[in-house]
Structures are given as C-alpha cells and as structure tokens.
Amino acid sequence: MEPMEPPQDQSGGRGPRGQDTRKRQFQGGRGSKRQRTRKEKRVKEGSNDEVLLADVQALFAAQKLSNTGNSTTLKDKANNTDDPAPQEPGGLARGIEETATTDGVVTLPEPFTEIDVKVVEISSTGDGLGLHGSSNQIYVVPFSAPGDIVRAKVVRHFEDEHYSQADFVSVVQAGPLRDDNRINCKYFSTCSGCQFQMLDYPTQLKHKKTIVEKAYKNFSQLPPELVPIIEDTIGSPLQYGYRTKLTPHFDGPPGYISKHDKMKGARNYFTEVPNIGFMGKGLKRTLDIEDCPIGTDAVRMGMKSERSRVAKELDKYKKGATILLRESTLRVQNDDEKASKSIPDTIKVTGPNYTDFKSCIMDNNATSTEYINDFVFTNIAGSFFQNNNSILPVFTQYIREHILSPAPFSIDPQIKYLIDAYSGSGLFTITLSSLFTSSTGIDISGASITSARENAILNKLPTSQCTFIAADAPELFKSVTYPKDETVVVIDPPRKGCDDIFLKQLLRFGPKRVVYVSCNVHTQARDVGVLVRGMGDGGARYKIESLRGFDFFPQTGHVEGVAVLSRVESSGAELPP
C-alpha cells in the first residue's frame, strides 16, 4: 500500500470538483440572480473529492434538506444551542446571512466573505460539515468539530452539489468535543498535515470507526445484511512522536528564466533561505515548519539538522527539493558493552533486553533498519514501509489471529499456504510465515523483492518456507501453484485499490480465505463489494467475516482498514437483491 503523507495537502490544491482552490482572487461581482456553477471535470474514483461528495449527499438526504415540507432540518438542530454565538458589534462579516431574491432563490455569501458556521459533523475527509444562515447549503470547514461555531472564509460555492468550501479562520464558540489545550503544534489549522489535534483520542477512534462504516455504506454496493458490524478501531500506542518518515520540501529560487536562457546555463539564486516544511492547507504555498510533533525523536532531530544543512548549501540548489527523513534503528543486546555507550546523532532507547540507537537517514538510496518485535526489516530508505512502527506489533498480531479459519471443521482441508500480493519488502510474508508450510510474496518492484529476500535471510527463513517473486500482481496466479482450498491470499494494494484484471484472476483462483489490508477504506469497500458479489463468470464469491480499522496516523483523518473474507461454498443460493 502507499502511505498517506500527513504533512502534505492531499488535495493538491484542487477542490472536490477539480478547481484550483489555492487561487484566492475573486473574479467578478455577484448580482441578484443565482450564480450558476460551470460544468466541472469528473471526480476521481476513490479520491477525497468523491468521499466528500458522498458525505455531503448523505447528510442532505438524511435530514431531507431539499424537502421544503420537512419540519426538522439541520438548521434547527444547529441553531438549537443554549448559548448562541456572540455577535460582532456593527454587523461585521460574521453576521452576514444569505438573502433571497425576488424569485425566491437564495443568494449565497460572496467568496472571501467571513461568516459564522455551525458545525454538525465531521466528514470522512476530516473536514467539518456545517450550516450558515437560512439556506440548506452545507459548508466544508477544516479543523472544526461537531458543535463548534467557527468563523470561516468562503472560498467557492458548488451550488449544484449543495455545498461550499471555506477556510478556517477562528473558533467563535467551542463545541463539547473541542479543547484547544490539546493542540500540540503551533502550525495546527494552517499546515495540511493534522486535522484532529483538538479532539481527545477516544473521539478520534470513534470517528474513524464511522469512516469505515460510511465507506461500506457508500462504496461497497452491498445490502446492509452482507456487511457485518464494524469493530472498534484499534488505536496507536503513540499518538505523537510515532511517524518514522517525513518528507519536508522547499521551492526553487524565485524568478523566471526562459527556456532559451536555461539552455545557455542561466539560473536563479536564492537571496534568502526559503520556507522549508509542508504545504499550507488549501494553498499552493510551502509553510516554514521547523518541527513536527508527530515525527519520532530521531526524525525531528534529522529535520533540524537538514534545515541547517540546506541553509548553508543553498547555492547547490538550482531548483526546489524534497528532503527524506527516515528513522533507522541499530539494536544492541544489553549484555554487549556497546549498549552502555553513546553514539553521536542518535536517540538512545533502553529496553529490558536490548538498547536501540535510533538515527535519521536522509539518503534515498541508503538502507534503513527497523524491528517489529523480534523480526528485523531492512529497506531502501526512500521506498515504502509502514510509517508508524509503534502499531505494527499489534497490527501484525491481529492479522495472525484472523488469517486462518476461526473454527475449522475436521472435513475442511487445513490452510497451509500464503500468497502475499503487493508484498513490498515482505512485512506479511515474513511475520506470518510460521503459520504456513510455504509462503510466497509477490511485488512488481524488483528492488522491493531484493529487500524481501534479504529480510527472509535476516529472519532465518529458508526459501522452502518463504519465497519472493518479482511480478505484477495481476500475473501472480500464473506463478503460484498452491491448491486453492489450502491457500489464503493477503492483499495490500496502493490507495487506488485493485484493478478488475486482478480481482477477476483472484475470483477465478478462488482461495479459501482473503485478507484485504488497505490505507484507503473507500477503494477497499469497492473491491470487497466485487469479491462478495462475484463477477458472474463462474468464479468464487466471498462473505465478510470481519471489518476493522487501525489508526496508523493519529491526529489525522486517515484510517487503515482490514477486511477478513471467507469463500462462499457453492449451494445455488443467490445474493439478495
């Protein structure tokens, strides 16, 4: 799977209908007539844009906002507060309301007007959804929580979709879930990395459970009776200081150079140290951020040293750059005299049996090392590996406990074989190998397969028990000859999920069990829906045994999903309509 990089703006500055929300200059005035929304490009499947639209539409439908005969609406609930929002003297921007034209059409606040928004719920993208004034328009405001009244700057209206994007300005009145004393970063509400620092951790976990619930409701296309109750989200042992990789960046020197001049060797030079950090929320602008509290101590140490190095070596950079900060661990047994010593530029962590010296790697091609319980993994530092080491022991143990049948019958063949699709450097193949006679990991990246084979050797696993093949996932079933009734397949795809070719081959092979791990529960829900319904070509179908979220990224709106499925034995039964 591909990691979400919390410090980056995942929208790329694009709004849910494709516009550049980072452009703030309002062009043209608004007359008395309703401004029409131009036709927008199609929303990308499984993207934050699609997820946000589904939440807006569900909120609209649930409250029957479009039904003028409905007696109870979100506006009634939002305005039903014992302590109304304070009013600015003199009728300032926060008092601006929508107004109706002579034909009864509501005119929305002009872009870049500041208004008060009563937040009703948090969307699956991490943004608050709220109301303002007398219209049914929903306002999407980041860094807000249910019950908050926040001042927001309107950015853009999407009238056909019944919502507007707005920037967070300030808290007018905090709701019951919000406590800004919890905020642990001075860049919160401007950096695009974290969304939930104002919420307590149990509330964050409850919300992430609803993300999984809504994903299967909105994207699986399955009737409710085929989706089991979502289990509680398993939290991260660390809520700060957990992230083992960060990638701050800086932009190139200012000034334009023509292509002709570039060919002659012309270049711009920095006149001052540029902002080094992460994207601002909704802006095409890098914020200067000298520290990030969700990073591990070693990564934060590396961030300080790299900022200093870049400032000294600015003349070396003709353009901007992304800086890799990856934690690496040197483990020494406590009975080794090296454990009592100190190593420069490391963070020393002493445990009952061993001492870890944690450093920060900045070279993309260097080798990083990390441990999951007694397993050791080395990787090319710039390649993908899960970025929250603290939760990996709990996470891999959960997979171990659920990958086999919960109550096998004596007549059922025993599951002896594991296929790990999208295996990367072997996380699941290696940590699960002791459960199986033979395990095979498959990945399209030759470099990842090289790392995986090295990791198998480091963990003393013979090739008869643990092998790796470099191949594209859709071709994996041509490379493996395990009997389907004795095989389980682990799927851990990128955020876009699995393509139809892979799913079709998986259903044709028909392994006894499937465990689907995903960093995007929305594309996971879509794919699991296909596995449950089947593809109508005589292949297998599956039932969902369990669904659960894991919080790999506390303080953010991201949740990892694990779906456990078992094959439906042919009985002639049809799916319910």
Amino acid at 238: L
Residue 492 marked in a binding site: yes
Q: Given the residues 185, 360, 498, 519, select the one marked as catalytic.
A: 519
Task: Return the H-helix or E-strand segment holding 232.
Answer: strand 231-234
Read off the DSSP letter of residue 393: H
Work out whether strand 249-250 and strand 245-246 pair parallel, antiparallel, or are unpaired: unpaired
- Stretch (H or E) spanning 548: strand 542-550
Quick one: tokens of 222?
């399955």
For residue 351, give the amino acid letter.
G
Chain CA centroid to CA 187, Å: 20
240 is in an annotated binding site: no
Residues facing residue 245 across a β-bridge: 326
139 annotated ligand-binding residue = no
For residue 397, say whether it is annotated as part of any ligand binding site: no
Q: What span, in angstroms and rounded, lies between the C-alpha atoms of 196 and 474? A: 38
Block residue for tokens 């991490």? 126
CB-based contact 493:499 (threshold 8 Å): no
Q: ∠ at Cα 513 (511, 516), nearest 5°?
A: 110
128-144 burial: b if 16+ Cβ within 10 Å, else e = bbbbbbebbbbbbbbbb
Tokens for 557? 């709106």
Contact of 512 with 487, CB cutoff 8 Å: yes
423-440 as b/e, with b when 16 or more CB fall inside 10 Å?
Answer: bbbbbbbbbbbeebebbb
Which tokens in the block code for residue 178?
Answer: 């919000």
At which residue do the structure tokens 């990089």 appear? 5
Cβ contacts of 101 within 8 Å, gap of 6 or more:
32, 33, 34, 107
Residue 519 catalytic?
yes
Known binding-site residues equal 386, 422, 443, 492
Known binding-site residues for S-adenosyl-L-methionine equal 386, 422, 443, 492
Give the residue numbers annotated as catalytic, written as ranges: 519
